[in-house]
Structure 1
Amino acid sequence: MKPIRLMRGFLTVGFWTLASRVLGFVREILLLSLIGPGPVLDAFVAAFRLPNMFRRLFAEGAFNAAFVPMFSKRLEGDENPEGFASDALSLLSTAVVLLTALGMIFMPALVWLTAEGFAADERFDLTVGFGRIVFPYIFFMSLAALFSGVLNATGRFAAAAAAPVLLNILIIPALLIGHAVGGDVVLWLVWTVPVAGIAQLLLVWSATRATGLRIRLKAPRLSPEMRQMVRIALPAAFASGVSQINLVVGQIVASATPGAVSWLYAADRLYQLPLGVIGIAVGIVLLPDLSRRLKAGDAEGARYAFSRAGEFSMFLPTPAAVAFLVIPLPLVSVLFERGATSGDDSAAIAVALAIYAIGLPAFVLQKLLQPLYFAREDTKRPFRYAVWAMLVNAGLAFGLQPLIGWMAPAVAATTSAWLMVLQLAIGARQFGDTAKFDARLRRRLWRICIAAAVMGGAVWSAWVVLIPWFGTPGWRYLALLALISFGMAVYFGTGRLIGAFDPADLKAAARRSKP
């Protein structure tokens, strides 16, 4: 077996995801400055969530959970992987074309179902109009997900990880041009979304051809392999659907408060930075690697891969969660408070960010634990766990709304995320030693937590000292940079001192894939 270099894969995916998230910050800063929290931004957020919701349901959720392990095993066993991928591409294309057509026809119903609170004001018609423009994005991204899965299974992560960067590369100039020419900025924004989808698809398609694999569209057919893939995909679709229902529930609750959809969206963008850089990287790289190792009977290598992924999962998200919890306001005010975004908006976003911070480690751990099931083509149990998490999320979101208002969705999402992790961890016990952390990770995990806690106390103290600087427009950027730099120095210094991590491990792991 030609191994996937885990750490190199994590770093490659993490680098490009970081680039995408940084550019995403620039995008959100422009959105909040040029449009600002209110009806138009609420409408865009709700409209753009629709193709993203179905993309995660069909492409990144159900399809990848079924396709990537099956393709990886056929690639490992040289069992006609090109033919399998071509059949999958044809079946996926047909299904998503039908979905796209139905979505555009029934867009008013989709908007009412996902943002009921918009029905009484101008946001409803705006969301329907924006939704019909951006919804075709799901077609291009679903096909891109297949080619990305092929690339990831072969250990080539760069192109698939770089593709999402194109969305922000195209949106940022579109926003600036729209503002410069005095046009309706939001229209420049929504029309750029499907164009970006085409660009992303072309990038991963050309990268796949460069590998020598020839994956072609043909008449779709339900071969035995495709039937098996559908049987595996359906529970994963339901599981992904549950997570998307959680988002919709939160949006329904938040839509009753003007501006709340935008506040939660901005907080979500901020905590998605470490989740995207680490959590998504782990999920993308670990799934094909585990699938191929299990096919080859390499139990020792599978445990090593899982443990190193766990170490990588906690390395940055833990201090990030602490920082979001103890200093959310300076982060939010410096990044977002300008133009149409007021100090009251910043305060609301900061509250949501602090709540999400408590759940950040859980969101990352889900990305770590789910591949244990998907690599074994087990999608039924994650679905059952997701249903319980969905019920808790809905109960808390609607139940807490009379007490804490628009903040209820954030509390519900955080609580249900930890419930999901608990279920996944307990269920994974039956997989034996391959699903257990090794001695090195057990030794280091609590040290990482200590280093993050020390950092939290240090940055909070530093923020108290720097508060006057944060109130000065010309100096607040330098104050935030100094605060972040100080926190990183404390975290890495403390962690190195108490043995939470060793820089030499990064070099060693990049050169090898197993002990």
Structure 2
Amino acid sequence: MSLVRSSLLVGLGAGASRILGFARDVLFAQALGAGPVADAFLAAFRLPNLVRRVVGEGGLNPALIPALGRMEPEEAAPFAGDVMSVFALAVTGLTGLVIFAAGLVSFLLAPGLSSEDTLGLVALYTRLGFPSVIGVTLASIGAALLNWHRRFTAATMAPLVVNSALIAMLIALPLIGDVPLRTKAAWLAVAATLAGLVQLAIVALALTKGEPRPIRFRKPRWTPALRGILLAVFPALVASGAVQLFILAATQVASFWPSGVSWLYYAERVMQLPLGLMGALGASVLLPELALRHRAGEHEAIIAAQNKAMELALLLALPAATALAILAHPIASVLFERGAFSPQDADGTAAVLVGLSAALPLAALSKVLSQTLFARGSLRGTLIATLAGLVATFVAAWGLGRLFGISGIALGVAVGCATHVAMLAFLLAIVGLWRPDRALGLRIVKIALASLVLALGLFLAMKALPEPGLFALALLCVGGFVLYAVAALMLGAVTRDEIAQLMRKS
């Protein structure tokens, strides 16, 4: 399968997953609102969802793919079985530990939820929902092995199961009758765990079929390669989940604001629609290509691919950030304001979304730049960059939150992303792989001008439609996309030849 066709398949799968996830969160808002129960459930859901997003977007690939790339096919299959077996034991043990220490985990996730009753709910929902990590993690290891053999279909489609199961549960709950909020949240946590196990079953079935067979089970052998994988996994997961960790740090700060956890969660889910696409493409498609280039010593090709990927990232992320900032309030109101979700909650979510929109282009760039370091196996450097961004996020979110309220916490995430990008660029410069060219700079200027045209168009449209409903919001989004596409073509931010090349097989 060609790189472009692989990208399209992964992109479609990631897009479908994001759309289902977004539909799930709209139903979350309707069912749970943004009060104490919602804060408790979403705080508990944050940790398994963090794991699901990191590993589901290829967070284990930076540790697995370079190691597999150094092996012959006959030794890669049993090695993959060793990895799966050892991780099954490790993640099961971790789940048991989290369940046992759920009270302490709850306090660390949301220290601002000082009420014993609310923290007790966080602990309950953590115990019910965290076992989903077993299925999701093992399924993601299997997906990484399938991706390595260019078998993208099952790996791309299996994650859709989790969101589909939660949506089904959210639809079914009102049919049962008047279910208390606490009970609704408990059933949702159980549904997440069951869905994770179904996801694992789908990937496991794909692993047993097709050629070449990417995995063969045996009694695990403690080899240097296996030891290297285990040592690399933690920094790989931390570095791959950088943006999610920044959001987690912001969540800890937001827990000191009433409904802050919920507002941040719903706004961040909107931001993740475009960002998740970049993450999935980077880890599943760009990383294997860069790993092969690095193995062949093609440094100039790596730099060219990195610059082109940054152009693509900003071509998508900058207009998305512009639209989210301008349409923040109608998005929050139209999508979430129903059921238990009040107009005040819509105002709070919109304020957070404006702040997070500033982080979106920076987060997209970090997704690209980190892939080059992953391909080199430079996990220590990416870990340092992530920790620097995490500290910057926490400090900035706390300081800006005291100055500007909940929107300041969101701006703290943007500060963390900016710090992360700067550190990644510095690390790439040290190894001679950071060389932005004139073409990249010129393309960024053109993308910024096209985004400015989009901003002016949306601003004028909002004057004519101050309180758009669902149809008007959809019209604004479609019209904004068309306006940006035309402006991008006219200004040269993207060319017809590039569009035609993208549509052809590579």
Q: TM-score, structure 1 length as denominator?
A: 0.91
Aligned partner of 2:482 in structure 1 is: 489
Q: Which residue of 1 aligns with 2:418?
A: 418
Of 37, 42, 45, which aligns to 1:45? Answer: 42
CA contact (8 A) 1:115 1:248 kept: no
1:502 maps onto 2:501 in alignment? no
Is the CA contact (8 Å cut-off) linking 1:144 and 1:201 kept in structure 2? yes
Q: For 1:192 and 1:448, locate their aligned partners in 2 and report how far apart those are by CA, in whole Å.
A: 42
Alpha-carbon offset, residue 440 of structure 1: 5.2
1:163 aligns with 2:158: yes
1:185-196 to 2 correspondences below 5 Å: 185-196=184-195
Match of 2:251? 251
Residues of 2 paired with 1:273 and 1:172: CA distance? 17
Mapped partners of 2:44, 2:321: distance in 1: 29
SS of alignment partner, residue 112 of structure 2: helix
2:473 counterpart residue number: 480
Deviates more, 1:170-179 or 1:386-395: 386-395
Structure 1 residues 452 and 402: CA distance shift in structure 2, 3 A: closer
CA distance in 2 between partners of 1:368 and 1:450 (Å): 22
Q: Which residue of 1 aligns with 2:200?
A: 201
Alignment of structure 1 residues 381-400 onto 2, 5 Å: 381-400=381-400
Equivalent residue runs for 1:31-430 within 5 Å = 31-54=28-51, 63-74=60-71, 77-78=72-73, 80-182=75-177, 183=179, 184-212=183-211, 213-237=213-237, 239=239, 246-430=246-430
> Closer, same or farther in 2 for the Cα pair 1:278/1:168, shift >3 Å?
same
Aligned partners of 2:59 and 2:240 also within 8 Å: yes
Give the partner amino acid of 2:220: P
Are the structure 2 counterparts of residues 279 and 453 from structure 1 closer, same or farther at C-alpha, using a change threshold of 3 Å? farther
Q: Hey, what's the Cα distance between the residues in 2 that align with 1:78 and 1:436? A: 35
Q: Measure how far apart 1:444 and its partner are.
A: 2.6
Distance 2:248 2:314 in 1: 28
Which residue type is aligned with residue 413 of structure 2? A
- SS at 1:210's partner residue? coil
Q: Cα RMSD over matched residues? A: 2.4
1:495 Cα deviation from its structure 2 partner:
0.8
SS at match of 2:33: coil
Aligned residue for 1:467, secondary structure, equals: coil
The answer as to whether partners of 1:39 and 1:122 remain within 8 angstroms in 2 is: no
CA apart distance, 1:300: 4.9
Paired with 1:249 and 1:299, the residues of 2 have a C-alpha distance of 36
Aligned residue type for 2:448: C
Q: Pick which of 267-276 and 241-250 moved more.
A: 241-250
Q: CA deviation at 1:15?
A: 1.2
Residue 268 of structure 1 deviates from its aligned partner by: 0.4
CA change 1:277–1:244 in 2 (3 A) is closer
Contact persistence 2:57–2:279 (CA under 8 A): no
Cα distance in 2, alignment partners of residues 162 and 35 from structure 1: 28
Are the aligned partners of 1:29 and 1:336 in contact in 2 as well (CA < 8 Å)? yes
Query: Cα 1:331–1:208, aligned 2, differ >3 Å: closer, same or farther?
Result: same
Separation of aligned partners in 1, 2:491 and 2:102: 55
Aligned to 1:473: none
- Give, in whole Å, the separation in 1 of the partners of 2:492 and 2:215: 47
Q: Report if the CA contact (8 A) 1:7-1:506 is conserved.
A: no
C-alpha deviation, 1:175, in angstroms? 0.9
SS at match of 1:402: helix
Structure 1: gaps of 5 or more residues: 471-475
Task: Give the counterpart letter for 1:235 in structure 2.
Answer: P
| Separation of aligned partners in 1, 2:198 and 2:422 | 39
| Shift in CA distance, 203/311, structure 1 to aligned 2, threshold 3 Å | farther
**Relative to 1, partners in 2 of residues 1:58 and 1:47: Cα closer, same or farther, differing over 3 Å?**
same
CA displacement at 1:309 relative to structure 2: 2.4
In 1, the alpha carbon distance for the partners of 2:145 and 2:398 equals 41
- The answer to whether the Cα contact below 8 Å between 1:167 and 1:196 also exists between their aligned partners in 2 is yes
Q: Which residue of 1 aligns with 2:464?
A: 465
Per the TM alignment, residue 410 of structure 1 is displaced from its structure 2 partner at its CA by 1.3
Distance across 2 between alignment mates of 1:484 and 1:279? 23
Spell out, residue by residue over 1:241-289, the C-alpha distance to the aligned partner (whole angstroms, 9 max, x if none): 8766544432222112221110000000000000012233223211111
Matches of 2:491 and 2:53, distance apart in 1: 40
> Following TM superposition, by how much is the alpha carbon of 1:37 offset from its aligned partner in structure 2, in angstroms?
0.8
Q: Matched residues in 2 for 1:500 and 1:210: separation? A: 44
Contact 1:334/1:477, CA 8 A, preserved across alignment:
yes
In 2 relative to 1, CA 57–316 (structure 1 residues): closer, same or farther, beyond 3 Å?
closer
Cα deviation, residue 169, structure 1:
1.3
Task: Report the Cα distance in structure 2 between the residues aligned to 1:260 and 1:180, rounded to whole angstroms.
Answer: 30
Contact 2:86 2:220 in 1 (8 A): yes
Q: Residues 386-405 of structure 1, C-alpha deviation per residue, up to 9 Å, x if partnerless? A: 22222222222233343334
Give 1:165's aligned amino acid: L
Label 1:481 to 1:59 Cα distance change in 2 as closer, same or farther (>3 A): closer
Contact 1:51 1:135 in 2 (8 A): yes
- 1:329 offset after TM fit, Å? 0.8
Shift of residue 431 of structure 1? 4.0
Which stretch has the larger CA shift, 242-251 or 409-418? 242-251
How many residues align structurally? 501
Matched letter for residue 197 of structure 1: G
| Stretch deviating more after TM superposition (411-420 or 227-236) | 227-236
Distance 2:21 2:245 in 1: 24
After superposition, the Cα gap between the structure-2 partners of 1:252 and 1:36, relative to the gap in structure 1 and judged at 3 Å, is same
Q: Structure 2: any 5+ residue segments left out of the alignment?
A: none
Quick one: distance in 1 between partners of 2:331 and 2:56? Answer: 33
Which range moves more in the overlay, 186-195 or 245-254?
245-254
Q: Separation in 2 of the partners of 1:47 and 1:502?
A: 46
- Tell me, what secondary structure is at the counterpart of 1:119? coil
Give the distance between the partners of 2:25 and 2:417, measured in 1 at CA: 25
Asked if structure 1 preserves the Cα contact closer than 8 Å seen for 2:55 and 2:137, the reply is yes
> Could you report, residue by residue, the CA deviation over 1:127-168 in whole angstroms, capped at 9, with x for unpaired residues?
111111111111111111111111222223232222221112
